[in-house]
Structure 1
Amino acid sequence: MRQIIELQQQLLPDLLEVMRKRYSILNQVQLSDLIGRRTLASSLSMTERVLRAETDFLKSQGLLEIHPTGMRISEAGRELLEQLEPFYTTMFGLSELEEKIQTAFGLPQVIVVAGDSEQSVQTKRELGRAACQVLRKVMEPGDVVAVTGGTTIEQVANQLTTSAPLKTNWFVPARGGLGESLDYQANTIASTMAKRTGANYRLLHVPDHLGEEAYASIMQEPNIREIVDVIRSARIVVHGIGDAKVMARRRRLKPELLDAMTRDGALAEAFGYYFDREGRVVHQMQTVGLRLDDIVKTEVVIGVAGGKSKGEAIAAVMRFGHNDVIVVDEAAALEIVSIIEQEQSH
């Protein structure tokens, strides 16, 4: 496929540019569900005049629906985007990034979406959509899926749909809640995923960070013990990846603990564990829910993260070596590849 694209670029460079433009329009409309022309033009950095000509063409092809309230993608448009996806990743050079990361970390699957989710809400939605596709492919009847919190995993939850209700599946939080916005907590995300797919869910109403005595006491409660057993039986885990310092501050860890973690080289946080550059655990939280032993034994672990600033953190968690699929944006992927190349040159 790459060879065909290179030949097309030599013979018909304009054709690829037109394809890229129309693909971007359809993709943006799909991510937005319903969007006005002015908003769409602004998000694509395109003039309204140019956009009008393109959207009129896409409508004439039956790929877009234009209503008084805005534009929607048609079913035919959705199918076309799905079929074009492999071609699109090659066209934008994303498949090359995927291969480099996959080879360097020995991962079964890497997915890179275009853009930078720290700069664009649409890219963050695209991350969520790509992770949804992975999750739908690996889910089987009766599966328990454990999910962590965070704004990226919230995007996964908001876009998860299925053709038929998942009556035998369960969504559960991987851990207790952070003391932050309810929208981003694992409990909220698990219940959203269940409601959007017709599945079942269980919630874990305990704080994320506990002292030894509080942890021992809570784990004596039969109801808590029961839900923790369900969480630890998860066949699939979907998790975000955070910067260690940012996550430690959000969890209001004591300054002396934060200093100790910094001295130990903590770079990344995932499922309540803090990792250094080599993927070694340098700090862990006393938390009710998934433990590292459970992650190691879990059949499918899907990591979802984006943004240039997260590149080092994502690389650290990948070195831990227990992700089966990683879904990242282009900005993070470029940073990760840069880290790989630096290491190889030394």
Structure 2
Amino acid sequence: MREILDIQKQLLPDLTEVMKKRYTILHHIMVSGLIGRRTLAGIMKTTERILRGEVDFLKEQGLLEVESSGMRISEAGRQLLERIEPLVKDLFGLTDLEERISRQFGLKQVVIVPGDSDVSQHTKKELGRAGATLLRKLVNKDEVIAVTGGSTMAQVAEHLTSSTSMKGCWFVPARGGLGESVELQANTIASTMAKRTGAEYRLLHVPDHLGEEAYQSLIQDKMIRELLDFIRKARIVVHGIGDAMVMARRRNVDPETTSSLQEKGALAEAFSYYFDKRGNIIHKMPTLGLRIEDIQSMDAVIGIAGGRSKGEAIASVLRFGHEDALVTDEAAALEILKYGSS
């Protein structure tokens, strides 16, 4: 396939560009669900006049359905996108990026979507779609799946659908709740994932950031202990990756601890652990949820994060060495390779 692509790029470069453009239009519409032409033209930074010609062509091919309220992809269009995705990844150069990151960090699987989720909500939605697709492939029946919170994880939840592979599964929060929007809490995301897939869920109604005294008190509670034992049965964890200082602010970490994190070179946060650029754990928040020994014994640890600004943080967590799979975007991938080789 790559040889044919190389020949096509040399002999028919215009055809390659047309294919990329039409794929991008179809892909935007698929991820959006229903979208108006003016909105799509704005996202793609083109004019409605230019877009109209492409939309008319795709409609004639039976790949789009145009309604008064907007455009949506047809089933034929959805099937076409699935079939040509590997080809398009080669066209965008993403396959090579995936292979390089996989080799560098010893990952079993890397999935990269085009764009930069720092500047494009569409790219963040696509991260969610790709994360949901990967999770469906890895899950077996009757699994316990732990999930963290955050905006990217919320997108993963939105793109999950009912699946026979998730029959008998349980979704659980990997940790307690942060002081943020309810829809971004791990509890909410676990329950949304369960409802969208027909699975079950259990919730952990405790704050994520606990003082030592509160932590010791809660850990003695019989119901809390029973729930934690259930959460620690998880064989799959799906988690986001955050910038260390951003996460410290979201947790309202005290100034002394924040200064200590800065002095130790904290770059990234994942499942309540803070990592430096070498992937060393330099701080653990007292929190109820998964412990590092639970994560190390998992069958699949899936990190999902994107955006150029998070590239160095993602590389830091990958250096920790316990990720099995990564879903990220093109902008973050380029930064990961840059920081991963330094």
**TM-score normalised over the length of structure 1:** 0.97
Letter in 1 for 2:188: T
Report the equivalent of 2:45: 45
Equivalent residues in 2 for 1:159-178, closer than 5 Å = 159-164=159-164, 166-178=166-178
Equivalent residues in 2 for 1:228-247, closer than 5 Å = 228-247=228-247
Task: Check if 1:250 corresponds to 2:214.
Answer: no
Alignment length (residue pairs): 342
On the 8 A contact 1:136/1:162 being kept in 2, the answer is no
Task: Check if 1:266 corresponds to 2:266.
Answer: yes
On the 8 A contact 1:176/1:289 being kept in 2, the answer is yes
Letter in 2 for 1:244: A
Task: Check if 1:334 corresponds to 2:334.
Answer: yes
* Partner-residue secondary structure (3-state), 2:172: strand
On the 8 A contact 2:139/2:166 being kept in 1, the answer is no
RMSD: 1.1
On the 8 A contact 1:165/1:199 being kept in 2, the answer is no
Deviation at 1:177, TM superposition (A): 0.2
On the 8 A contact 2:136/2:165 being kept in 1, the answer is no
Deviation at 1:49, TM superposition (A): 1.2
Report the equivalent of 1:275: 275
Q: Which moved more, 1:62-71 or 1:212-221?
A: 212-221
On the 8 A contact 2:266/2:277 being kept in 1, the answer is yes
On the 8 A contact 1:5/1:91 being kept in 2, the answer is yes
Give the Cα–Cα distance (whole angstroms) in 2 for the partners of residues 96 and 258 of structure 1: 38
Give the Cα–Cα distance (whole angstroms) in 1 for the partners of residues 59 and 229 of structure 2: 51
- In structure 2, do the counterparts of structure 1 residues 340 and 218 end up closer, same or farther at CA, with 3 Å as the change threshold? closer
On the 8 A contact 1:165/1:198 being kept in 2, the answer is no
Report the equivalent of 2:64: 64
Deviations 1:193-229 (Å, cap 9, x if unpaired)?
Answer: 0111111000100000111221121122222112211
Report the equivalent of 2:318: 318
Report the equivalent of 1:219: 219
- Structure 1, unaligned runs of 5 or more: none
- In structure 2, do the counterparts of structure 1 residues 213 and 117 end up closer, same or farther at CA, with 3 Å as the change threshold? same
Letter in 2 for 1:255: P
Letter in 2 for 1:101: I
* Partner-residue secondary structure (3-state), 1:8: helix
Deviation at 1:161, TM superposition (A): 1.1
Deviation at 1:88, TM superposition (A): 1.0
Deviation at 1:59, TM superposition (A): 1.1
Give the Cα–Cα distance (whole angstroms) in 2 for the partners of residues 195 and 28 of structure 1: 26
Deviations 1:144-200 (Å, cap 9, x if unpaired)?
Answer: 110000111111011111344844011010000001111111001001101111110
On the 8 A contact 2:153/2:240 being kept in 1, the answer is yes
Deviations 1:20-66 (Å, cap 9, x if unpaired)?
Answer: 01100110001100101110111111211111111111111111111
Letter in 1 for 2:149: G
Report the equivalent of 1:182: 182
Give the Cα–Cα distance (whole angstroms) in 1 for the partners of residues 163 and 269 of structure 2: 34
Give the Cα–Cα distance (whole angstroms) in 2 for the partners of residues 331 and 267 of structure 1: 18
- Moved runs in structure 1, 4+ residues, more than 4 A? none
Give the Cα–Cα distance (whole angstroms) in 1 for the partners of residues 167 and 225 of structure 2: 24
* Partner-residue secondary structure (3-state), 2:220: coil
- In structure 2, do the counterparts of structure 1 residues 338 and 166 end up closer, same or farther at CA, with 3 Å as the change threshold? closer
On the 8 A contact 1:172/1:231 being kept in 2, the answer is yes
Give the Cα–Cα distance (whole angstroms) in 2 for the partners of residues 250 and 286 of structure 1: 15
Deviation at 1:339, TM superposition (A): 2.0
Task: Check if 1:75 corresponds to 2:47.
Answer: no
* Partner-residue secondary structure (3-state), 1:111: strand
Give the Cα–Cα distance (whole angstroms) in 2 for the partners of residues 275 and 249 of structure 1: 16
* Partner-residue secondary structure (3-state), 2:175: coil
Report the equivalent of 1:145: 145
Report the equivalent of 1:125: 125
Give the Cα–Cα distance (whole angstroms) in 1 for the partners of residues 62 and 3 of structure 2: 30
On the 8 A contact 2:273/2:285 being kept in 1, the answer is yes
Letter in 2 for 1:89: K
- Structure 2, unaligned runs of 5 or more: none
Give the Cα–Cα distance (whole angstroms) in 1 for the partners of residues 224 and 302 of structure 2: 25
